[in-house]
């Protein structure tokens, strides 16, 4: 299904490919108009209402309605309040935030300011991963420009709304992407997720004050919603269940991997064949991870599914960050799963037992299956353990469970082909390295 | 037949059966009287007892000659007659051992529970049963008397090779162990 | 998001049984109340829920929460139906154990936790016996965490209890969580002694053998220990202890839960302050004129020896570390024989302060340690909690973490494990400052007029300090639950009464549900009882002995010579005595001088009752029968082969028994029952008449203190301190100064080196630097010690710890002044060598 | 000891910050830049400046991936081993790199120039396989391209990564 | 006078002879039992003292004599010391009335081969067996031990219960013989032993006598796996030996009584009467040993049941039938 003829990119409006859009370019394209039209003119409650009406869902992976999150800051909550734009983006296969920030930094900045206005925040902390050092510098540079233009600082646009935005560089751990862990990280504590019964970050986050944590892609949509209205934004989607546009990252065995802004709900087949140039020569589509490493493998049978949160949920999958990692028929999905679980083993924060102790045990079993050292009882045990991962402390371990579940649900035969001394049918039947030592995945490569 | 008769007859049969049941054993025992006795004439003839028979208790050594006993108190806890007592201590190299170890064979019932409880295979029962003494105090055995210079029934086992504590070799050098964790390491 | 208004209580069903609990009680606690022990590793009632171990999973069948959840993380709500035995939950818990065991080493036999290990229990009760994980086990290198805590990181199951306690509860900053993922490591930045004086609690908390008790390492299994409840004697707080002894030797002490006193924890002074009971030099044999004899003969000799003296010439000295029975017997003996009133405190000032504190206490005002955690503004006057009663510091931290303000008014550099506001004044100015504060707090209160008029005049204050005092006063007046803590160790005699009066008036302000508390720190575990009993003055007694007005002296469990700054004078005086009898279990030079020595039992062997500073009567059980430790009776490397009905060295008897038998020999009248005895001996503790105390003790104070509203305050003049002179004060330290624990080999061996304190201003004047070795010219000779310079300390003072390793007895009396400029640093070459070193050869 | 400039920079950075701990990672980065890696001395200095104990800072330092608590080379080569790069023969690149430099993963070359570290997905999946050298992305990689990059790095001075 | 003296001498000789034979018999009966039991259990039995262990009884006796004679603390000393003797003496006294043969004529005088031909010999025997209970009950009671007391009570109850069928079973014998004298009873069997005429009485007598002897399966008073050794738990040395002697003498006595009452006493062809008696008497202990090797111990309720509900009614019925038949047959 081709794009609607009148579709034009929203978030990537100013994308140039070779360099970021400058402040002036952004202004020329109607940038900061939303801010000008909002600060002092619309009430914060109205902004929240519009965002709610637009049905904007969080783009960080969970798909939580942004309007509801903002409304979660109690009117009586103490000050200062914080906005925490999340650019930690360490989900394997995901790079949309980097592309977005690199394409149009001011769009992101404007979105953050509008969010701060809506929740009456005084300070924003732009949390960014260490690999994106250049983007951190870019943001810092553009922040100075925005500040000079009076869009940041005290008394923005002559109103009594003051907002400071600064960059917080992380030192790199996947778990820092989790909102509560990120709050800890910014405070200079160990970035463990925190789950106190009944407590929300919007009530008590950074230093016990209300804090709104949003993905930058989510925030970047806000200026557009405010300028062109919620209805327009909602109509951008390709499906009635979607909202606006989405940055889809496509990587893996496709001809043109990259980040594409498409209407929310574009079909998977369209994304791969229309936009990402189809499979690499010689490869046939086998499966894809629809939203980064912490989602389940989607088999060929779901090739035509509209890619939005509710549609995927309906078939037991998860859109996540909408970062499609595409595998072809020459790849051993078990070996791929081992790679993914190795990532999760390494990045676990070490807080709860299923994640810290369970994942290495699961990895050990997977490696033994890959090496042909396992039997059916091990697969059964693996299945049990994977199910138990859902009772872990935060969403990290369930995320790790997803690819294994997808593997066992859709590619069970492939797993069974490894058992009882047979080893990997795709690659070298070498013995998998023992866990614990540093090792590289072997076998199963295309 | 009348029901009473049936009952009576059944009763009679039961009685007969009971009576036979009473008598049959007599035949059995009588038969025994004419069977060859199995007695072994002990001091002159001696049976070779199986290795697992439960006689005198010993403390064995690991393959490298160290005392296996780590004074974990499990044998004394398992002993139903409380005939084992000891005191644990730390050797200079950090190894746990029994500074003294006493078995009162006057009390011992040779049940073998201590051997079952022993996690290091240190305490073992031997087939030796000929150690009666004229004075009861001589039945109180101290460690030097209990300690032997071999590994007993499982000579190859060395608890410390599996335990993971630093008595034998550094951390990570035991059976099926990873390198010790280095909290400062660069690899993720 | 608004939350539902919470009901006060809710009804839920756990395993088919209903229970009503307060809403938001963790389900795991609700189940425990039903007697259902849900397995747990990370959850601990004192640390709260963090949901890290995932062991307490239960299935919520119905109600507001559904599915498999951690019972520690879910607060109880109406209508919950919980199953702890649901197969899904059981399977998950079993899987958690399997995961934890995947890397757990195979070293239970050499692990001291074996036998009382939570992981062992859960593994065995969960039926995990076969290992399915075939991979290699993770290992860690261990750290040396000092003399008390052994570290065996391989055994760690990462429940985070230790780090949470250490950092959050105890405020320690040198032990925590390192690294990430499966490499997560619990330890210090680098090996070394754990700095927090509460570090020992992580041993109790650790559910496996990762952190174990080092002194008792490899010495006994839990099942072999003779264990019994006891009370800590190392300060007046009376924390609960569980004693574990084996082979006639205390192996280890553990914290005993007493919710109103110490909660789950104790300080390291309490935990490691044992060992004096098995010192080789402990007196174990009765002696008459230096010859060992049997009990009956020694008593007879003493009774005979006492007969010639007229009653007025016989004196008794008691100690506050004795149990209530001993004190009662001692008081009874003095009363019945008409002897001089017994002396309990080391000097008149301390006796005065303790008595004024005791007089200010009453049931409606006194605060327990748990109350400290509930208070919102806490004024600490003339007390150094960490040094005098460490667990008070922990309670202050608990209060501070809940948002309470801690205000400290003291002359010492009090180190607290929590945020506190501090003002420092010379000790003699404290009463005046308190007066200023009280005026601000009680301004416009008619009923306070009498009290306010009795207060001393405030000293001349800097405007900002005056303002700070006024603010403090206002905050106390506005507080919901103000609490006043007052020390007695350093206080002027009237100060505790003033502080108590302030607390009483704070309680009586505005509204009904407001309360206030008063918590004095008293000298010794039975300081309150001794203070209530009154008694004589030790200095007067000394003078009387010197003048021959007292010719016979009985000293019961009090170490005169090493507690007084004038040992020489005392020794000379003792030589003039015609009869000196000593009943004690501690070795002291006094025993050498005594004509009759009656060895007494320690609290571990005799037990007894103790009344802590809040009037709480608590019982220590005798845990083992006295005798030489088995380790000291070995022959040829093993215990002797002997059959005896009693152990060698089992002659010591409870001091109370010695005294009662002595009374019998001296022809005392018939004796009533024990409880009647005690009640009669301490009319100030009416609760004693009710008989034995329950497990967690019972308050015995009168409900109201008559006439405590308007304390009669004798105005005290401040001593004249000439300019450029320092007042030498003897102070307590957390470790190494308290009477019993300084004789505990463990603490003696590991206590930090004794140092003297000087305010930065004074140090600057004298040109002395932090850390320098200092030669202090004391009247009795020079004293050498290392100097610490403090910013937050009142000037004009030189603080000297009562550390036996320091020859502070050269002070020769109290109220000593030294000239500031005569202090001088000594060079490195002079340092520890030389005959005059500070360190006494105390084992 | 850190030079006075660095000390001043850090103190400036902490000036007026309500919660100095917030800057812990930034301080560690600064110290790491000066010392080459976060050595014990640097950690102790950093902790002191931040008003933390060494343990408290170590809790953070050992948590993070990009804080090096062991000596590293001038160029720290983070090779992505995410699933996308793995699919594109990342392990060949990695082996090639290790073989070319003669080191094992996590080790530094004898000349102190290069340290090879595997790292999680670096967000350069559209150019897989990719690697990150001192903040700069390189991808898609082939063994030949790796050699070129090494050559360039060897010859040139380290240039700081700059924003586009 | 000389006649009287000669009579006395004769009496002493007879007593001496009887005691010698009985005690030696008892000792060797112990050996026989041990040997036989061993063989029943595929063992050898005592074989160390002398060839085939023939000196074992001597060794045992010697050992028992040399062992310390202990009296437990709190025991009733006189009773404790006396009780074993009572047990042994009553057993031996039975032999006073057992005829060993027809009268001999020595020096023209008829010498009855019985120590005392008492006209109420049978009653004497019953009386002695009743007195024998005292040895058990007093010994157990005097020991001041729970085990002993329990054993004694059991023993008392058991003896009383079986006394009745024992006595009743002998009534037909007396009826047939027309005399209580054992000599007359033997004489009455000149034609046909009473076992033929009174098989039921024979069985009842045997079972009851077995119970009286407290041997398996009726050894409840000493049931060692419940009561250590029952009434003689606290005894040691020769006092313990006396109980032992009592038991084995009793066995021989039983043998003699069975022979006298039912097997025709000393009567028999060819062999001398004494030998006949010995043979008949030996038969009973051997059967008892066999029974011991075969049957397990009864439960106490079974014990009581068999006495009161089986043996006693049976014995009464036997009397009636015997009486009826005698009346009918004249």
Domain ranges of chain C: 9-98, 143-278, 287-346+529-628+650-690, 359-522, 725-826
Residue D56 burial (10 A CB sphere; 0-12, 13-18, 19+): buried
Report the mean per-residue pLDDT for chain E: 84
D67 part of a folded domain:
no
Domain residue ranges of chain E, discontinuous segments joined by +: 2-329
How many domains does chain A contain in total?
3
Topology classification of domain C287-346+529-628+650-690: Rossmann fold (3.40.50)
One domain for residues A50 and A161 = yes
One domain for residues A269 and A395 = no
Give the model confidence (pLDDT) of A398-419 as tens digits: 999 999 999 999 999 999 988 8
Q: How far apart are CA E19 and CA B118, in angstroms?
A: 61
Residues of E with CB under 8 A from a CB of B: 36, 38-44, 290-291, 293-295
Is D58 in CB contact (< 8 Å) with chain C?
Answer: yes
Q: How far apart are CA D11 and CA D3, in angstroms?
A: 12
One domain for residues D57 and D81 = no
Neighbours, chain D (3 or more CB pairs < 8 A): A, B, C
One domain for residues A134 and A283 = no
Name the domain boundary from A235, A253, A271. A235
How many domains does chain D contain in total?
2
Closest CA to C758 of C785, C730, C789: C789
Q: Which of B29, B36, B38 sits opposite E293 (nearest CB)?
A: B29
User: What is the residue range of D131's domain?
Assistant: 75-155
Local structure of residue C136 (DSSP, 8 states): P
Q: How far apart are CA C359 and CA C366, in angstroms?
A: 11
Neighbours, chain C (3 or more CB pairs < 8 A): A, B, D
Q: How far apart are CA E22 and CA E16, in angstroms?
A: 10
Query: Which residues of chain E lie closer than 8 angstroms to B29, CB-CB?
Result: 40, 290, 293-294
One domain for residues D43 and D94 = no
Q: Which residues of chain A have pLDDT under 50?
A: 428-446
- Rounded mean pLDDT of E7-23? 84
Residue C816: both structure tokens together: 């000593």
One domain for residues A114 and A263 = no
Name the domain boundary from A195, A210, A235. A235
Name the domain boundary from A303, A328, A353. A328
Measure the CA dihedral D144/D145/D148/D153, to 10°. -140
- Chain CA centroid to CA C647, Å: 32
Instruction: Please tell me the distance in Å from B94's CA to the nearest CA on chain A.
Output: 28
By C-alpha distance, the chain B residue nearest E47 is: B41
Name the domain boundary from D61, D89, D105. D61
| Contact between chain E and chain D (3 or more Cβ pairs less than 8 Å apart) | no
Q: Which residues of chain C have pLDDT under 70?
A: 1-7, 509-513, 669-673, 705-719, 827-843
Within 10 A of E42 (CB to CB), how many other CB atoms are there? 13
One domain for residues A251 and A381 = no
One domain for residues A45 and A173 = yes
Residues of A with CB under 8 A from a CB of C: 72, 74, 173, 190, 195, 197-198, 200, 202-203, 345-354, 356-358, 360-361, 364, 368, 381, 384-385, 388, 391-393, 434-436
Residue B57, pLDDT above cutoff 90: yes
Q: How far apart are CA C88 and CA D60, in angstroms?
A: 37
- Helix, strand, coil % in chain A, rounded to nearest 5: 45, 15, 45
Contact indicator for C415, C172 with CB cutoff of 8 Å: no
Residue A367's CATH number = 1.20.1440.230
List of E strands, B120-161 = 123-125, 140-141
Whether residues B188 and A436 touch (CB distance < 8 A) is answered with no
User: What is the residue range of A345's domain?
Assistant: 333-416
Topology classification of domain C9-98: Ubiquitin-like (UB roll) (3.10.20)
Instruction: Please tell me the distance in Å from A265's CA to the nearest CA on chain D.
Output: 22
Q: How far apart are CA C24 and CA A20, in angstroms?
A: 52
Contact indicator for A345, C180 with CB cutoff of 8 Å: no
Residue A92's CATH number = 3.40.50.11540
Give the model confidence (pLDDT) of E82-91 as tens digits: 888 888 888 8
D164 part of a folded domain:
no
Q: How far apart are CA A88 and CA A93, in angstroms?
A: 13
pLDDT, residue C836, reads 47
Residue that has been written with the tokens 């001589």 in this structure: B138
Q: How far apart are CA C554 and CA C342, in angstroms?
A: 9
One domain for residues D27 and D85 = no
Query: Which residues of chain A lie closer than 8 angstroms to B179, CB-CB?
Result: 436-437
A37 part of a folded domain:
yes
Whether residues C176 and D59 touch (CB distance < 8 A) is answered with yes
Residue D105, pLDDT above cutoff 60: yes
Q: Cis peptide before E213, with omega less than 30 degrees from 0?
A: no
One domain for residues A318 and A342 = no
Q: How far apart are CA A124 and CA A115, in angstroms?
A: 10
Q: How far apart are CA C790 and CA A91, in angstroms?
A: 52
By C-alpha distance, the chain C residue nearest B142 is: C638
Residue C637 burial (10 A CB sphere; 0-12, 13-18, 19+): exposed
Phi and psi, residue A65, nearest 5°: -60, 125
Residue E270, pLDDT above cutoff 80: no
Contact indicator for C521, C490 with CB cutoff of 8 Å: no
Q: Per the CATH hierarchy, to which homologous superfamily does domain C359-522 belong?
A: Dimethylsulfoxide Reductase, domain 2 (3.40.228.10)
Closest CA to E48 of E39, E40, E56: E56
Domain B57-163: CATH architecture, name and number where available = 2-Layer Sandwich (3.30)
C238's CB contacts (< 8 A; 6+ apart) are: C231, C232, C261, C525, C610, C611, C612, C613, C616, C618, C697
Residue A311's CATH number = 3.10.20.600
Half-sphere exposure of A289 (CA within 13 A, CB side): 33
Half-sphere exposure of E57 (CA within 13 A, CB side): 17
Whether residues A384 and C96 touch (CB distance < 8 A) is answered with no
Phi and psi, residue C424, nearest 5°: -115, 140
Residue D162: both structure tokens together: 């700059």
Give the model confidence (pLDDT) of C595-609 as tens digits: 999 999 999 999 999
Contact indicator for E261, E194 with CB cutoff of 8 Å: yes
Contact indicator for C577, C553 with CB cutoff of 8 Å: yes
Domain residue ranges of chain B, discontinuous segments joined by +: 1-38, 57-163
Within 10 A of C561 (CB to CB), how many other CB atoms are there? 19
Looking at chain A from residue 342 to 361, which residues have their Cβ under 8 Å from any Cβ of chain B? 346-347
Q: How far apart are CA C181 and CA A345, in angstroms?
A: 7
Residue E98: both structure tokens together: 């057992």
Is B84 in CB contact (< 8 Å) with chain C?
Answer: no
Residue D115's CATH number = 3.40.30.10
pLDDT, residue D1, reads 56
One domain for residues A218 and A342 = no
The enclosing H or E element of C176 equals strand C176-178
Instruction: Please tell me the distance in Å from C445's CA to the nearest CA on chain D.
Output: 40
- Rounded mean pLDDT of E286-309? 88
Instruction: Please tell me the distance in Å from A366's CA to the nearest CA on chain C.
Output: 12
CATH tag, C725-826: 2.40.40.20
Q: In what order do the strands lie in the sheet with C226-231?
A: C226-231, C240-246, C249-255
One domain for residues A162 and A288 = no
Q: How far apart are CA C424 and CA C792, in angstroms?
A: 7
Closest CA to B125 of B106, B159, B99, B148: B148
pLDDT, residue A442, reads 41
In degrees, to the nearest 5, what angle opens at C-alpha E230 toward C-alphas E228 and E236? 80
A421 part of a folded domain:
no
Instruction: Please tell me the distance in Å from C284's CA to the nearest CA on chain B.
Output: 24
Instruction: Mutation target for B interface from A339, A434, A436: give the one with most B CBs within 10 A.
Output: A436
Instruction: Mutation target for B interface from E45, E48, E294: give the one with most B CBs within 10 A.
Output: E294
Contact indicator for A190, A184 with CB cutoff of 8 Å: yes
Whether residues D56 and C177 touch (CB distance < 8 A) is answered with no
One domain for residues D42 and D83 = no
Measure the CA dihedral C453/C457/C463/C465, to 10°. -90
Residue E250, pLDDT above cutoff 50: yes
By C-alpha distance, the chain C residue nearest D43 is: C189
Long-range contacts of residues C678-681, Cβ cutoff 8 Å, at least 24 apart: C678/C324, C678/C325, C678/C328, C678/C609, C680/C328, C680/C332, C681/C327, C681/C328, C681/C331, C681/C332, C681/C533
3-class SS at B98?
strand
Query: Which residues of chain C lie closer than 8 angstroms to A338, CB-CB?
Result: none
One domain for residues D24 and D92 = no
Radius of gyration of chain E (CA): 20
Alpha helix stretches (DSSP H) within B34-104: 74-78
Half-sphere exposure of A142 (CA within 13 A, CB side): 28
Contact indicator for C391, C267 with CB cutoff of 8 Å: yes
End-to-end CA distance of chain A: 30
Q: What is the largest CA-CA distance in chain E?
A: 63
Contact indicator for B167, B158 with CB cutoff of 8 Å: no
Query: Which residues of chain D lie closer than 8 angstroms to C176, CB-CB?
Result: 55-56, 58-59
Q: How far apart are CA E61 and CA E244, in angstroms?
A: 10
Residue C689: both structure tokens together: 């008449």
Radius of gyration of chain A (CA): 22
Strands C81-83 and C9-14: parallel
Q: How far apart are CA C200 and CA A406, in angstroms?
A: 48
């Amino acid at each position: 299904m081709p794009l609607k003829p009148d579709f034009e990119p929203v978030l990537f409006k100013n994308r140039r490919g070779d360099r970021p859009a400058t402040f002036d370019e952004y202004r020329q394209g109607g940038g900061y108009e939303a801010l000008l039209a909002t600060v002092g003119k619309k009430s914060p409650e109205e902004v929240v209402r519009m965002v709610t009406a637009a049905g904007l869902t969080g783009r960080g992976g969970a798909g939580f309605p942004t309007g509801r999150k903002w409304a979660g800051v109690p009117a009586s909550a103490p000050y200062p309040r914080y906005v925490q734009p999340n650019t930690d983006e360490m989900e394997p296969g995901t790079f949309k935030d980097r592309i977005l920030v690199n394409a149009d930094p001011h769009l992101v900045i404007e979105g953050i300011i509008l969010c701060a206005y809506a929740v009456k925040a005084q300070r924003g902390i732009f949390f960014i991963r260490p690999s994106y050092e250049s983007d951190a510098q870019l943001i810092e540079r553009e922040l100075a420009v925005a500040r000079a233009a009076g869009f940041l600082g005290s008394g923005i646009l002559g109103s009594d709304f003051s907002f400071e935005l600064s960059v917080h560089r992380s030192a790199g751990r996947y778990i820092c992407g989790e909102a509560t862990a990120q709050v800890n990280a910014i405070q200079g504590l160990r970035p463990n997720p925190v789950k106190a019964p009944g407590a929300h970050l919007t009530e008590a986050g950074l230093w016990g004050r209300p804090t709104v944590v949003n993905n930058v892609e989510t925030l970047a949509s806000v200026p557009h919603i405010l300028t062109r209205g919620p209805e327009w934004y909602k109509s951008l989607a390709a499906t009635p269940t979607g909202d606006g546009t989405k940055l889809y990252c496509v990587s893996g065995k496709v001809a043109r991997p990259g980040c594409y802004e498409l209407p929310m709900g574009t079909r998977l087949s369209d994304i791969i064949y229309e936009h990402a140039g189809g499979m690499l020569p010689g490869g046939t589509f086998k499966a894809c991870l629809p939203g980064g490493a912490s989602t389940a493998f989607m088999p060929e049978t779901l090739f035509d599914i509209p890619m939005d949160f509710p549609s995927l949920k309906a078939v037991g999958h998860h859109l996540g960050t909408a970062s499609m990692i595409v595998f072809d028929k020459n790849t051993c999905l078990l070996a791929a799963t081992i790679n993914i679980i190795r990532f999760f083993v390494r990045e676990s924060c070490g807080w709860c037992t299923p994640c810290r102790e369970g994942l290495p045990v699961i990895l050990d079993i997977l490696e033994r299956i890959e090496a042909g050292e396992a039997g059916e009882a091990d697969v059964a045990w693996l299945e049990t353990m994977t199910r138990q991962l859902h009772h872990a402390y935060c969403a990290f371990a369930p995320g790790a469970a997803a690819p294994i579940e997808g593997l066992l649900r859709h590619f069970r035969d492939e797993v069974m082909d490894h058992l009882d001394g047979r080893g990997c049918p795709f690659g070298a039947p070498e013995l998998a390295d023992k866990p614990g030592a540093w090792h590289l995945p072997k076998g199963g490569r295309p | 037949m009348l029901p009473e008769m049936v009952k009576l007859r059944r009763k009679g049969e039961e009685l007969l059966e009971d009576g036979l049941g009473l008598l049959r054993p007599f035949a059995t025992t009588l038969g025994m009287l004419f069977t060859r006795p199995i007695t072994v004439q002990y001091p002159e003839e001696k049976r070779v007892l199986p290795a697992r028979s439960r006689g005198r208790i010993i403390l064995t050594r690991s393959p490298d000659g160290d005392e296996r006993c780590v004074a974990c108190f499990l044998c004394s806890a398992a002993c139903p007659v409380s005939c084992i007592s000891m005191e644990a201590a730390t050797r200079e190299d950090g190894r746990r051992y029994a500074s003294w170890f006493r078995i009162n064979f006057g009390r011992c019932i040779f049940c073998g529970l201590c051997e079952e409880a022993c996690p290091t295979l240190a305490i073992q029962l031997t087939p030796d049963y000929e150690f009666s003494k004229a004075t009861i105090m001589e039945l109180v055995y101290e460690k030097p008397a209990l300690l032997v210079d071999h590994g007993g029934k499982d000579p190859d086992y060395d608890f410390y090779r599996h335990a993971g504590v630093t008595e034998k070799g550094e951390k990570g050098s035991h059976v099926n162990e990873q390198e010790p964790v280095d909290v400062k390491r660069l690899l993720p | 998001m608004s939350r539902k208004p919470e009901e006060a209580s809710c009804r839920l069903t756990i395993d088919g049984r209903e229970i009503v609990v307060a809403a938001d009680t963790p389900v795991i606690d609700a189940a425990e109340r039903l007697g259902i022990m849900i397995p747990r590793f990370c959850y601990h009632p004192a640390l709260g829920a963090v949901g890290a171990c995932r062991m307490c999973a239960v299935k919520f069948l119905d109600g507001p929460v559904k599915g498999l959840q951690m019972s520690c993380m879910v607060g109880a709500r109406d209508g919950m139906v919980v199953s702890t035995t649901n197969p899904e939950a059981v399977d998950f818990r079993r899987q958690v154990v399997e995961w934890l065991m995947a890397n757990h080493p195979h070293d239970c036999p050499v692990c001291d936790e074996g036998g009382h290990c939570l992981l062992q229990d859960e593994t065995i009760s969960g039926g995990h016996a076969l290992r399915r994980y075939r991979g290699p086990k993770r290992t860690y290198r261990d750290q040396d965490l000092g003399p008390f805590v052994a570290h065996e990181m391989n055994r760690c199951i990462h429940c985070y209890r230790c780090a949470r306690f250490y950092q959050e509860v105890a405020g320690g900053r040198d032990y925590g969580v390192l690294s990430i993922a499966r490499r997560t490591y619990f330890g210090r930045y680098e090996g070394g002694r754990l700095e927090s004086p509460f570090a020992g609690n992580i041993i109790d908390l650790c559910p496996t053998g990762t952190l174990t008790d080092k002194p008792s390492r490899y010495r006994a299994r839990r099942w072999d220990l003779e264990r019994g409840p006891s009370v800590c004697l190392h300060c007046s707080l009376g924390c609960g202890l569980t004693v574990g002894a084996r082979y006639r030797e205390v192996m280890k002490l553990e914290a005993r839960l007493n919710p109103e006193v110490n909660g789950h924890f104790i300080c390291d002074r309490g935990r490691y302050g044992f060992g004096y009971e098995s010192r080789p030099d402990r007196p174990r044999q009765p002696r008459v004129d230096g010859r060992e004899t049997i009990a009956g003969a020694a008593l007879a000799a003493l009774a005979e020896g006492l007969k010639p003296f007229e009653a007025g010439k016989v004196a008794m000295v008691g100690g506050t570390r004795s149990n209530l029975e001993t004190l009662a017997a001692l008081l009874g003996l003095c009363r019945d024989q008409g002897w001089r009133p017994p002396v309990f405190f080391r000097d008149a000032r301390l006796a005065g302060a303790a008595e004024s504190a005791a007089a200010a206490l009453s049931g409606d005002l006194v605060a327990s340690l748990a109350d400290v955690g509930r208070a919102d503004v806490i004024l600490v006057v003339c007390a150094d909690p960490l040094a005098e009663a460490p667990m008070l510091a922990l309670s202050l931290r608990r209060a501070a973490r809940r948002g309470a303000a801690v205000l400290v008014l003291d002359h010492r550099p009090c180190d607290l494990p929590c945020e506190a506001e501090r003002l420092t004044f010379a000790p003699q100015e404290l009463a005046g400052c308190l007066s200023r504060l009280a005026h601000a707090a009680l301004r416009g209160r008619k009923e306070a007029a009498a009290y306010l008029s009795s207060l001393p005049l405030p000293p001349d204050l800097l405007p900002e300090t005056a303002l700070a005092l006024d603010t403090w006063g206002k905050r106390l007046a506005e507080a919901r639950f103000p609490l006043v803590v007052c020390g007695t160790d350093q206080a002027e005699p009237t100060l505790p009464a003033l502080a108590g009066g302030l607390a009483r008036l704070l309680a009586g302000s505005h509204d009904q549900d407001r309360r206030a508390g008063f918590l004095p720190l008293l000298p010794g575990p039975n300081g309150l009882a001794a203070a209530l009993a009154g008694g004589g003055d030790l200095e007067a007694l000394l003078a009387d002995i010197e003048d021959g007005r007292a010719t016979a002296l009985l000293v019961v469990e009090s170490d005169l010579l090493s507690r007084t700054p004038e040992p020489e004078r005392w020794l000379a005086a003792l030589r003039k005595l015609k009869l000196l009898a000593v009943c004690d279990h501690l070795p002291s030079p006094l025993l050498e001088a005594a004509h009759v020595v009656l060895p007494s039992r320690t609290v571990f062997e005799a037990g007894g009752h103790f009344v802590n500073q809040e009037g709480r009567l608590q019982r220590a059980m005798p845990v083992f029968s006295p005798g030489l430790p088995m380790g000291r009776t070995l022959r040829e490397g093993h215990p002797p082969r002997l059959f005896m009905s009693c152990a060698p060295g089992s002659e010591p008897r409870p001091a109370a028994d010695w005294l009662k038998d002595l009374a019998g020999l001296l022809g005392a009248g018939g004796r009533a029952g024990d409880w009647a005895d005690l009640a009669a001996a301490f009319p100030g503790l009416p609760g004693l008449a009710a008989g034995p105390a329950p497990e967690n003790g019972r308050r015995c104070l009168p409900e109201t203190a008559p006439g405590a509203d308007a304390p009669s305050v004798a105005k005290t003049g401040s001593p004249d301190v000439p300019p450029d002179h320092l007042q030498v004060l003897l102070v307590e330290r957390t470790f190494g100064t308290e009477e019993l624990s300084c004789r505990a080999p463990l603490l003696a061996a590991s206590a930090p080196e004794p140092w003297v304190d000087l305010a930065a201003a004074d140090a600057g004047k004298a040109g002395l630097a932090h850390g320098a070795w200092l030669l202090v010219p004391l009247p009795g000779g020079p004293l050498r010690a290392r100097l610490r310079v403090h910013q937050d300390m009142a000037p004009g003072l030189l603080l000297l710890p009562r550390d036996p390793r320091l020859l502070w007895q050269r002070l020769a009396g109290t109220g000593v002044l030294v000239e500031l400029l005569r202090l001088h640093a000594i060079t490195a070459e002079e340092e520890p060598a030389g005959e005059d070193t500070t360190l006494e050869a105390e084992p | 000891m850190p030079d006075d400039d660095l000390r001043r920079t850090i103190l400036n950075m902490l000036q007026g910050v309500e919660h100095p701990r917030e800057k812990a990672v930034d301080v560690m980065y600064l110290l790491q830049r000066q010392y080459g890696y976060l050595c014990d001395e640097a950690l102790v200095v950093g902790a002191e400046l931040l008003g933390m104990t060494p343990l408290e800072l170590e809790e953070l330092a050992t948590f993070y991936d990009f804080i090096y608590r062991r000596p590293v080379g001038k160029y720290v080569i983070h090779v992505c081993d995410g699933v996308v790069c793995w699919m594109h023969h990342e392990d060949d690149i990695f082996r090639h790199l290790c073989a070319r430099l003669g080191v094992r993963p996590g080790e530094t070359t004898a000349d102190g120039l290069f340290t090879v570290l595997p790292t999680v997905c670096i967000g350069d999946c559209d150019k897989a396989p990719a690697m990150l050298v001192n903040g700069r992305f390189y991808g898609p990689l082939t063994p030949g391209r790796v050699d070129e990059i090494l050559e360039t790095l060897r010859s040139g001075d380290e240039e700081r990564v700059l924003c586009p | 006078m000389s006649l009287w003296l000669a009579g006395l001498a004769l009496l002493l000789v007879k007593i001496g002879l009887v005691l010698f034979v009985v005690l030696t018999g008892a000792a060797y009966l112990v050996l026989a039992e041990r040997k036989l039991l061993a063989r029943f259990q595929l063992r050898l039995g005592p074989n160390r003292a002398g060839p085939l262990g023939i000196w074992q009884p001597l060794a045992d006796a010697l050992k028992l004599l040399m062992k310390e004679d202990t009296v437990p603390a709190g025991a009733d000393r006189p009773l404790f010391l006396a009780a074993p003797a009572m047990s042994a003496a009553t057993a031996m006294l039975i032999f006073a009335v057992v005829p060993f043969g027809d009268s001999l004529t020595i020096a023209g005088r008829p010498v009855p081969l019985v120590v005392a031909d008492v006209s109420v010999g049978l009653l004497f025997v019953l009386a002695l067996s009743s007195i024998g209970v005292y040895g058990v009950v007093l010994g157990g009671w005097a020991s001041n031990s729970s085990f002993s007391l329990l054993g004694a009570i059991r023993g008392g109850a058991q003896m009383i219960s079986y006394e009745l069928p024992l006595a009743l079973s002998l009534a037909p014998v007396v009826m047939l013989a027309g005399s209580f004298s054992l000599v007359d009873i033997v004489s009455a069997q000149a034609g046909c032993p009473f076992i033929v005429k009174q098989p039921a009485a024979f069985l009842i007598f045997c079972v009851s006598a077995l119970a009286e002897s407290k041997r398996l399966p009726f050894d409840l008073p000493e049931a060692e796996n419940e009561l250590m050794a029952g009434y003689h738990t606290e005894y040691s040395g020769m006092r313990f030996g006396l109980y032992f002697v009592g038991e084995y003498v009793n066995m021989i006595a039983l043998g003699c009584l069975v022979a006298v009452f039912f097997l025709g006493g000393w009567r028999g062809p060819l062999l001398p009467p004494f030998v006949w008696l010995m043979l008949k008497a030996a038969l009973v202990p051997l059967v008892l040993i066999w029974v011991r090797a075969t049957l397990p111990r009864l439960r106490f309720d079974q014990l009581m049941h068999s006495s009161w509900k089986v043996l006693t009614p049976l014995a009464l019925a036997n009397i009636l039938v015997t009486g009826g038949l005698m009346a009918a047959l004249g």
